[in-house]
């Protein structure tokens, strides 16, 4: 996993099974940095309380996380990854 900033957002890039996924780099439960957690397959574990998220859609996979994480569409262009960040 790699944390980065784009358009004023802190994001985390996860490589799960060879596919890139991008989420906002904060746990929706306790606002910890998800990049400091552990990725096991498609499940990302928060480093603070051990809650889990599915990186494919941001959905909660284990408590105490109850709200989904914000995810972003990703497109691979050769060696580069493009992330779609909607304008608010």
* All domains of the chain in start order, with CATH: 2-83 (2.102.10.10)
pTM: 0.92
**Residue 18 Cα distances to 42, 68, 76, 87, angstroms:** 11, 23, 11, 28
pLDDT of residue 87: 79
Chain segment 31-86, per-residue pLDDT in tens: 899 999 999 999 999 999 999 999 999 999 999 999 999 999 999 999 999 999 98
Q: Which residues lie closer than 8 Å to 87 by C-beta, 6 or more apart?
A: none
Tell the residue number behind the tokens 């779609």, with chain if given: 84
How far is residue 79 CA from its own chain's centroid?
20
pLDDT of residue 69: 97
- At residue 1, does pLDDT exceed 80? yes
Which residues are registered as beta bridge partners of 23? Answer: 12, 71
Chain segment 12-43, per-residue pLDDT in tens: 999 999 999 999 999 999 989 999 999 999 99
Select from 56, 48, 46 the least CA-distant residue to 21: 56
């Amino acid at each position: 996993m790699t944390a980065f900033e784009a358009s004023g957002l802190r994001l985390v890039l996860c490589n799960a099974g060879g596919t890139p996924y991008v989420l906002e780099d904060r746990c929706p439960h306790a606002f910890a940095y998800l990049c400091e957690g552990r990725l096991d397959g498609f499940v990302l574990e928060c480093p603070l309380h051990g809650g889990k998220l599915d990186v494919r859609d941001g959905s909660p996979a284990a408590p105490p996380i109850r709200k989904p994480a914000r995810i972003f569409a990703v497109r691979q262009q050769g060696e580069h990854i493009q992330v779609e960040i909607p304008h608010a």
